[in-house]
A and B are shown apart, each in its own frame.
Chain A
């Protein structure tokens, strides 16, 4: 199946700093990428949907100025958590889906990035 990678897998940062997380589709072109967040013992919550070359669509309650998403190419999307605070500590997971006609047409998840803000 198609592979999605995320980097870094784990990051610890100090409160007030910014953190960038990369999501890459390694062997297919991802027309759409999604960013999810999962707090302990809770469900994955969609934060935003991004299509290559256009602005991301954010879910209600997600601050677009705090969570900057860039989908500059068909294989790379980045999520930047600006001025991170301890309450932003979470498991951030990206996923990607390719265009119709892809052999295995589904949404592929990256391995996730565990962010801890101290």
Chain B
């Protein structure tokens, strides 16, 4: 079983839609949680960290449920430029400067 599981999708949504991605992790020792974005054939880029209290960055909202070992990402008012693969990432350390464990990624395609 993979340590970080995601639904690979693809999620095909129209512009302006709200879309949610989910992720589960199996190691309860995980301390830090992140969402990365990866465009086709490019390196992953940090989208946002995820905190237990939930956090928001513009149209993006991330939530963490430690009891259920579940992480989510909500994207509101989808733009064409949001089309990418979204990677759920966990770390056993206190930041993302150490070993990162990546999920398979969820592909989002936003259509006009």
Residues of B within 8 A of A (CB-CB), count: 21
Q: Is the interface of A mostly helix, strand, loop or mixed?
A: strand
**Interface segment, one of A13-21, A37-45, A68-76, A78-86:** A37-45
Contact A43 B43 (CB under 8 A): no
A46 touches B97 (CB 8 A): no
B73 at the interface (CB under 8 A from A): no
Q: Find B97's partner among A43, A91, A97 (CB 8 Å cutoff).
A: A97
Q: A-B pairs with CB below 8 Å: how many?
A: 49
Q: Is there an interface contact between A93 and B102, defined as CB atoms closer than 8 Å?
A: no
A63 at the interface (CB under 8 A from B): no
In the docked arrangement, what's the CA distance between A44 and B42, Å? 12
Give which listed residue, B2, B42, B96, contacts A107 with CB less than 8 A: B96
14 contacts between A and B (CB under 8 A): A32-B98, A41-B104, A43-B104, A44-B87, A49-B99, A93-B43, A105-B95, A105-B97, A106-B97, A107-B98, A107-B100, A111-B42, A111-B43, A112-B41
- Chain B positions within 8 Å of A, measured between CB atoms, are 2, 4, 8, 41-46, 87, 95-105
Which residues in A have some Cβ–Cβ distance to B below 8 Å? 32, 34, 36, 41-46, 49, 91, 93, 97, 105-107, 109-112, 114
